[in-house]
């Protein structure tokens, strides 16, 4: 999966906008060594403090993007200056097919507005979301007012793990209206003309939610193993 010579992209876990690149020099059990990372914008070498937590990503041999959380655990000076990062087991890596955005189940606040007064604006929540679109719950009777192909304006609230909130105003097209197993109607939306910075925020939000789901799944699995 990850191999020596791969380029690792690193971002602060606290939601900072900086991005760094570091080349993988050595891979061991639960750790990797990378060359001192370079700030993408400034083009200068940066120095990380021990204990600094980061988001890391790399492109695997299968062409998919892999994401994981890591921490700076030390520094080495031989044979060349390197930084030691924690590296999780393969089952804790989040794999994203580059041709499709990962979709995660999450309830995020969203308001839907019409462009041409076809319906009254309403507030609701998502049932799942990705960088490419979302599914939203429809209030009673709205499944008769909204139609596939209709373009709407969405106001989406993304609550990041850092405590930061992003408020995204996105144009979206209704792909389909469908009824869930519980009888509630939902609309599937495709985001249109998304600005690059908003796309990054959606990807980061989806990534954080997927990591949380994986952590919860691991906790449940460990609990089940302990009571068997």
**CATH code 2.30.110.10 for 6-96:** yes
Q: Are 40 and 21 in contact (CB under 8 A)?
A: yes
Residue 211 has pLDDT above 70, yes or no: yes
DSSP-derived secondary structure letter, 61: T
Residue 221 has pLDDT above 70, yes or no: no
Q: What does the pLDDT look like over 138-174, one tens digit per residue? A: 999 898 899 999 999 999 999 988 888 999 999 999 9
Model-wide pTM > 0.75: no
Length of the chain: 228
Question: So what's the pLDDT on residue 224?
Answer: 47
Where do the structural domains in the chain lie, given as residue ranges?
6-96, 103-223
What string of DSSP letters covers 30-48? Answer: TEEEEEPPEETTT--B--P
Average pLDDT over residues 214-227: 55
Could you tell me the fold of the domain covering 103-223?
Thrombin, subunit H (2.40.10)
Q: Are 24 and 2 in contact (CB under 8 A)?
A: yes
Measure the CA–CA gap between 137 and 140, rounded to whole angstroms: 10
Q: To the nearest 10°, the Cα dihedral for 82, 16, 209, 143?
A: -150
Least confidently predicted of 28-37, 68-77, 142-151, 194-203: 194-203
Average pLDDT over residues 70-82: 89
Q: What angle do CA 218, 220, 222 make, to 5 degrees?
A: 70
Do 103-223 and 6-96 fall under one CATH topology?
no
């Amino acid at each position: 999966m990850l191999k020596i010579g791969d380029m690792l992209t690193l971002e602060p876990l606290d939601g900072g906008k900086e991005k760094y690149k570091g080349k993988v020099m050595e891979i061991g059990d639960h750790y990797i060594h990378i060359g001192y990372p370079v700030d993408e914008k400034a083009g200068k070498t940066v120095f990380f403090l021990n204990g600094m937590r980061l988001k890391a990503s790399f492109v695997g041999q299968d062409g998919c993007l892999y994401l994981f959380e890591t921490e700076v655990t030390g520094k080495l000076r031989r044979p060349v200056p390197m930084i030691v990062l924690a590296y999780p087991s393969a089952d804790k890596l989040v794999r994203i097919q580059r041709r499709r955005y990962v979709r995660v189940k999450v309830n995020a606040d969203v308001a839907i507005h019409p462009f041409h007064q076809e319906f009254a604006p309403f507030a609701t929540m998502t049932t799942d979301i990705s960088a490419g679109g979302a599914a939203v719950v429809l209030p009673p009777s709205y499944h008769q007012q909204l139609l596939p192909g209709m373009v709407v304006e969405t106001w989406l609230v993304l609550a990041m793990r850092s405590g930061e909130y992003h408020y995204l105003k996105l144009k979206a097209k209704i792909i389909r209206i469908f009824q869930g197993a519980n009888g509630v109607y939902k609309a599937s939306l495709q985001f249109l003309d998304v600005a690059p910075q908003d796309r990054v925020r959606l990807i980061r939000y989806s990534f954080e939610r997927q990591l949380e789901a994986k952590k919860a799944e691991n906790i449940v699995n460990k609990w089940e193993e302990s009571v068997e």
